[in-house]
Amino acid sequence: MPIRDYSGVSGFDFKDMAQPLILTITSPAATVAGQTLSAYFPSVPSDFFWSIEQIAVSNTSTTTTTAFCYGQSPQIQSNVVASTLSGNLDQDDINSPIIILGAQIFSVAWTNCSLNAVGTVRIQVRAKQLIPAEK
């Protein structure tokens, strides 16, 4: 099976699919109190899928938050693939693995954030290549 070199695609390296990738994204700061913050990972290359093994979320909010993880856009309830009761210093590995198909965008949203808060999400993921079925 040939493995394509995806070095530089969205800033990530897809050459070594056997090793998990640790990816971290931080949201922009909240500009008003009670705002929902969002962090978006780059889309998965169309001939790959991501197998997310662990999700860890944190934020700097002074208010209680909840984090919702979305397997595709838009960020609506039917696209939720995981959530945490606490959007800060919490993780989800119960639903492991979470599959994100090629061309989809994995994102996280934190609700009820305080002014100037930022959210950070860290995922452990394996990138796997989709191989066309032989005829």
Tens place of pLDDT for every residue, the chain, 135 residues?
333 444 444 444 444 456 788 889 999 999 999 999 999 998 888 888 888 988 999 999 999 999 999 998 888 899 999 888 888 777 766 667 888 888 899 999 999 999 999 999 999 888 887 776 666
Domain boundaries, the chain: 21-129
CA distances from 2 to 5, 15, 51, 53, 84 (A): 10, 10, 20, 24, 38
Whole-number Å distance between alpha carbons of 46 and 127: 11
Whole-number Å distance between alpha carbons of 61 and 91: 17
Give Cα 76 to chain centroid, integer Å. Answer: 15
How would DSSP label each residue in 47-64?
TEEEEEEEEEEEE--SS-
Architecture in CATH for domain 21-129: Sandwich (2.60)
Query: Among residues 78, 76, 77, 69, which one has the least CA distance to residue 106?
Result: 69
Give Cα 83 to chain centroid, integer Å. Answer: 12
pTM of the model: 0.80
pLDDT score for 87: 80
Query: Among residues 25, 23, 6, which one has the least CA distance to residue 119?
Result: 25
